[in-house]
Homo-oligomer: A and B are copies of this chain.
Amino acid sequence: MTTKMMTAVAFGRENKGRFVEELKALLRIPSVSTAPEHAGDVRGAAEFVAAELKRIGMENVRLIETSTAGRKGHPLVYADWLHAAPGADGKAKPTVLCYGHYDVQPAEPLDEWKSPPFEPTERDGNIYARGAVDDKGQMWMHVKALESLMAAGGGTLPVNVRVIVEGEEEVGGEGIAAFVREHGDQLKADVALVSDTEMFAPELPTLCVGLRGMIYTEIEARGAKTDLHSGMYGGAAPNPFVALAQVIAKLKDENGKILIPGFYDEVQKPTADELKAWKALPFDEEHYCATEVGSSVLTGEPGLSVQERTWARPTLDVHGMPGGFVGVGAKTVIPAKAVAKVSMRLVPDMTPAESFRRYKAYVESIAPKGVQLEVRLIHAGDPIVVSTDNSYVKAATEAMREVFGKETVFVRGGGSIPIVGDFVRELKVPTVMMGFGLPDDNLHAPNEKFHLANFHRGIESIVRFLSGVGA
């Protein structure tokens, strides 16, 4: 096994140049999933990925059509290879489900790009293009690791592998969510591998072992039946914005503590080991404050580190408050209604359903006089945590340590990757989140890039991980 693995690693090293050229060809396809005019390009990217999976020896390669609410979606790409020989002990090898996405964010604003977003360009050891790191480059690492292992194994892999690549990650991922829900049997696996996260710092091998969940809601406040003039009615008519402000001020105090009764009841503290590890991370709060946030002072619960606050504590944010008059100057309207878009991030062991129930009941209980409140759930995602004792996590740790020559650090993410929650809930499998992006890779922004050294280290890490899982 070790010999085959080393052969696969060597194969990857020998074919570096070709791998990058192939990635460039994929990056030239403007598969912007949100843009109807690019629907053909999105399908073209799916076909490109499918053709390569077929070429390297994967089986049952096919596009799976999706639809959301009756509207045709972008296809999933599926492939598998399920013939791994049992081990010496006679036990069947595990199945790894490799997930990625081939769609990309829009490239706008175009004039801020130094080189065109769909003409991949190498500069300073990076490849610049829309989708370079999110997620075409990282998804391509999976394909190239599988190619390397196939080449070393004479058309066999050390583990069973299924591949599922979606084309709607940047537009909500409804298609794959429905497929996982309805056809989970077609994705049966023991562990999922997702490469759509980043390293904590350059040269620092990083595994993400937790994600916050979320509930995204709207509170609609209705006062008068129509818009009223604040001169004639001010002092008698209810004002939906004032009512929403009063509600929001009662949702979170000035120390960042959420005031919904019972909201923290299920919150699990990070383990002492995790807290210790987070403290050891190379993190300069002053630098973070000045360059990333750009605020004079951070907010949030006192006495907790930034990592605890953004990874292991629930939060509440308001994203926008549509309604009324938002133009230049003055219009003296008391609007009939106003909306607040409010989301909460959740951490283990909170659940979206229970959190929303508590939130809705509390908001309704504090509705100001004269205003009807309607609380709506827009979408939800489960919080995730994977134990660092998990054998797959251990295999990934080991693989990255070998490649980087450094101990792998465990972090969590403050955001959500909904598919990881779907894998837990529907497939009952943990996910190894092994990402090779860097904090300055400009995801969703102009001049997105992927550090090419990390592309190659990623391929090698995945070769070693899959070999380790199959050992």
What residues of chain A have their CB less than 8 Å away from a CB belonging to chain B?
Answer: 172, 212, 214, 216, 223-226, 228-239, 241-242, 244-250, 252, 254, 256, 292-301, 306, 309-310, 313, 315-326, 329-335, 338, 340-341, 343, 345, 368-370, 372, 378-379, 413-416
Which B residues touch A316, using CB under 8 A?
234, 242
* Contact call B237/A319, Cβ cutoff below 8 A: no
| Minimal Cβ-Cβ distance residue in B for A330 | B216
**Partner of A230 from B249, B292, B315 at Cβ < 8 Å:** B315
* Contact call A239/B295, Cβ cutoff below 8 A: no
Q: How many copies of this chain sit in the oligomeric assembly?
A: 2
Among A252, A331, A332, max chain B CB count under 10 A is at A332
Which B residues touch A226, using CB under 8 A?
294
- What would 21 A/B residue contacts be, using CB atoms closer than 8 Å? A214-B332, A230-B315, A231-B345, A231-B415, A234-B316, A235-B313, A235-B315, A236-B293, A236-B298, A237-B293, A239-B317, A242-B252, A244-B245, A246-B254, A295-B370, A298-B370, A299-B370, A317-B332, A318-B324, A329-B378, A330-B341
**Partner of A414 from B235, B241, B415 at Cβ < 8 Å:** B235
Among A234, A316, A379, max chain B CB count under 10 A is at A234
The verdict on A293 contacting B228 (CB below 8 Å), with A321-B324, A379-B330 known, is: yes
* Contact call B254/A299, Cβ cutoff below 8 A: no
Which B residues touch A230, using CB under 8 A?
315, 317, 319, 343, 345, 415
| Minimal Cβ-Cβ distance residue in B for A252 | B242
* Contact call B248/A231, Cβ cutoff below 8 A: no
The verdict on A335 contacting B310 (CB below 8 Å), with A254-B369, A341-B330 known, is: no
CA separation between A292 and B372, bound complex, in Å?
A: 17
* Contact call A319/B293, Cβ cutoff below 8 A: no
CA separation between A293 and B225, bound complex, in Å?
A: 6
Closest Cβ–Cβ distance, residue A153 to chain B (whole Å)? 39
* Contact call A235/B310, Cβ cutoff below 8 A: yes
Which B residues touch A301, using CB under 8 A?
235
CA separation between A214 and B229, bound complex, in Å?
A: 13
